[in-house]
Amino acid sequence: MTLYTSMPLELVLDGVNTQPGPFVDVVHGGVKMQVEPVSPGIGRIVRLLECPLDAYLDPQYAPGTIVTYASTVG
């Protein structure tokens, strides 16, 4: 693989060997999503797991959005 970039290689490959997480599966507004906890009851959306297709176009469910949640699923 060839990678053409003007950025230093250290910045491009930063974090490539680290494991992401911990993640929590929550249901918010009828959408099951994976969130990364930021503080108790507050998390950042990582990805949507189970939802209607139009939820992918809704900005409130975009990855990186902060959501509040009360309980976890599985």
30 in a structural domain: yes
Cα distance between residue 35 and residue 26, in whole Å: 7
Q: Which domain holds residue 41?
A: 21-68
**What's the pLDDT score for residue 71?**
56
Cα distance between residue 51 and residue 31, in whole Å: 5
74/13: higher pLDDT: 13
Residues in the chain: 74
39 in a structural domain: yes
Over residues 7-60, the pLDDT tens digits come to 998 888 888 888 777 999 999 888 999 999 999 989 999 999 999 999 999 999
Is the model's pTM score more than 0.75?
no
The total number of structural domains in the chain stands at: 1
63 in a structural domain: yes
Cα distance between residue 65 and residue 14, in whole Å: 23
Report the SS3 class of residue 53: helix
